[in-house]
């Protein structure tokens, strides 16, 4: 029962599949509070109170793939496509660097205009001009490319499995192969990346048992960063009319992931903030420890709505969530609510 599983957590025992399912199925307020509190305590012990802040640049919404849930999928006819060039990206990178941020996340659709040569040049420039850490989130590429990016300085890679239920995976990804996706993730690990994965909560047909398997997958694969966000319907996609994932289920998944995977980065996701105005605060209180700002130039943001009504996480929103959760700003940050610290 619930009390038995909580006791296991307190005693530092590993949770079995059934234990995780039980936690994910719980709906009683008192039990939810106890679960979130346990994850919060573990986060505090292992990571401390500082919330790591990272800046994301969504540098291209051009994608060769047609994932059924995604608001920038290849066949969306009405979407205006954009692609930032290297100089435009560097301008934002410098802003993030001035803010004191240490990590820039480069995210895009699977846009093959960005060839290895161009990506290598961009990574080199970021390293030389700012020394920032780089997270790539550009989808599936050949092993040699991943290797090249690592060699020239990329540090982290985010490639979410989205779901470990093979049937659902294949249903939502008309052009992806489940085994290949896992292979990509293994390559990233072998190549020494800080390896990011994650899942979407509330996919059609997904059950708590599936989410439990996702969490055990993250553990078994030694995943270092785990992004867990609710499914949100995007206009014009096949899933436009599907209901959004639940806030509580997302928070439960965050909490259990912290408890099972322990020393990992878990972002309070933008998707959660888009579904619930207090979503990020709640995630920070249930095991999450990082926030990703969206630093895509305003003129492009509207066209990177991977789901509709995407919330814009800026510094103000991050400050609010961190304050409300009673947590600490990272010491490296050079901006305060009032502006640049020593400018």
Choose the contact partner of 319 out of ligand SF4, ligand SAM, none; CB within 5 to 8 A by kind: none
Which residue number, 6 or 196, has a Cβ lying nearer to ligand SAM?
196
Minimum Å gap between C-beta 181 and ligand SAM is 10
Query: Rounded CA gap, 222 and 46, in Å?
Result: 17
Q: H/E element holding 217?
A: helix 208-220
Token reading at 67: 């994932």
- Of 76 and 221, the one with the shorter C-beta distance to ligand SF4 is 76
| DSSP assignments along 233-290, one per residue | --TTSTTTTSPPPPHHHHHHHHHHHHHHH-S-B-B--HHHHHH-TTHHHHHHTTT--E
CB of 110 to ligand SF4, least distance (A): 5
What residue 160 binds from ligand SAM, ligand SF4, none (CB within 5 to 8 A, per partner kind)? ligand SAM
Positions 198 through 237 that interact with ligand SAM (CB under 6 A):
200, 229, 231-232, 234
Angstrom CA distances, 172 to 67, 111, 138, 167, stand at: 6, 20, 18, 9
Give the integer Cα–Cα distance in Å for 104 and 45.
27
| H/E segment holding residue 52 | strand 52-60
307 contact choice in ligand SAM, ligand SF4, none (CB below 5 to 8 Å, kind-dependent):
ligand SAM
Exposed/middle/buried for residue 282 (C-beta within 10 Å: 0-12, 13-18, 19+): buried
**Minimum distance from residue 200 beta carbon to ligand SF4 (Å):** 10
Place of tokens 């997270």: 135
How many residues sit close enough to ligand SAM to count as binding (CB under 6 A)? Answer: 19
Nearer to ligand SF4 (CB atom), residue 72 or residue 161: 72
Distant-in-sequence, close-in-space partners of 330: CB < 8 Å, separation ≥ 6: 50, 51, 52, 53, 100
Q: Which residue number, 229 or 279, has a Cβ lying nearer to ligand SF4? A: 229
Burial label for 71, CB within 10 Å (0-12, 13-18, 19+), is buried
Which of ligand SAM, ligand SF4, none lies near 73, with the C-beta cut-off 5 to 8 A by kind? ligand SF4
Are the C-beta atoms of residues 103 and 75 closer than 8 Å to each other?
A: no
Do residues 334 and 94 make contact, with C-beta atoms less than 8 angstroms apart?
no
Enumerate binding residues for ligand SF4 (CB under 6 A).
Answer: 63, 65, 67, 70, 72-73, 109-110, 139
Pattern 267-306, ligand SAM, x by CB under 6 A? ----x----------------------------------x
Residue 250 partner contact from ligand SF4, ligand SAM, none using kind-dependent CB cut-offs of 5 to 8 Å: none
Q: Counting contacts by CB under 6 A, is residue 54 touching ligand SAM?
A: no
292 neighbors 267 (Cβ within 8 angstroms): yes
Per-residue x/- track, 130-169, ligand SAM (CB under 6 A): -------x-x-------------------xx-x-------
Residues that bind ligand SAM (CB under 6 A): 69-71, 107, 109-110, 137, 139, 159-160, 162, 200, 229, 231-232, 234, 271, 306-307
């Amino acid at each position: 029962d619930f009390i038995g599983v909580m006791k296991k957590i307190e005693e530092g025992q590993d949770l079995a599949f059934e234990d995780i399912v039980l936690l994910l199925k719980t709906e009683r307020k008192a039990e939810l509070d106890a679960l979130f509190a346990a994850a919060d305590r573990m986060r505090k012990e292992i990571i401390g109170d500082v919330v790591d802040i990272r800046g994301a640049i969504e540098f291209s919404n051009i994608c060769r793939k047609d994932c059924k849930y995604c608001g920038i999928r290849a066949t969306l006819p009405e979407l205006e496509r954009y692609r930032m060039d290297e100089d435009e990206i560097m301008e934002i990178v410098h802003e993030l660097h001035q803010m004191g941020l240490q990590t820039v996340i480069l995210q895009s659709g699977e846009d093959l205009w960005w060839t290895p040569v161009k990506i290598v040049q961009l990574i080199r420039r970021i390293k030389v001009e700012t020394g920032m850490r780089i997270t790539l989130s550009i989808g599936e590429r050949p092993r040699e490319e991943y290797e090249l990016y690592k060699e020239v300085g990329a540090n982290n890679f985010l490639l979410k499995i989205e779901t470990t239920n093979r049937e659902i995976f294949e249903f939502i990804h008309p052009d992806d192969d489940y085994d290949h996706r896992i292979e990509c993730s293994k390559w990233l690990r072998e190549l020494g990346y800080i390896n990011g994965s994650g899942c979407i909560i509330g996919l059609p047909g997904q059950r708590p048992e599936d989410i439990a398997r996702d969490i055990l997958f993250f553990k078994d694969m030694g995943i270092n960063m785990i992004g867990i966000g609710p499914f949100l319907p995007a206009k014009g996609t096949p899933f436009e009319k599907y209901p959004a994932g639940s806030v509580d289920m997302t928070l439960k998944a965050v909490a259990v992931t912290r408890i099972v995977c322990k020393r990992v980065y878990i972002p309070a996701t933008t998707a959660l903030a888009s579904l619930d105005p207090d979503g990020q605060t709640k995630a920070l209180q249930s095991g999450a420890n990082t926030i990703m700002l969206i630093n895509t130039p305003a003129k492009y943001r509207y066209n990177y709505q991977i789901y509709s009504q995407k919330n814009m996480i800026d510094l103000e929103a991050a400050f609010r969530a961190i304050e409300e959760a009673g947590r600490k700003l990272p010491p490296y940050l050079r901006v305060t609510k009032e502006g640049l610290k020593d400018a």
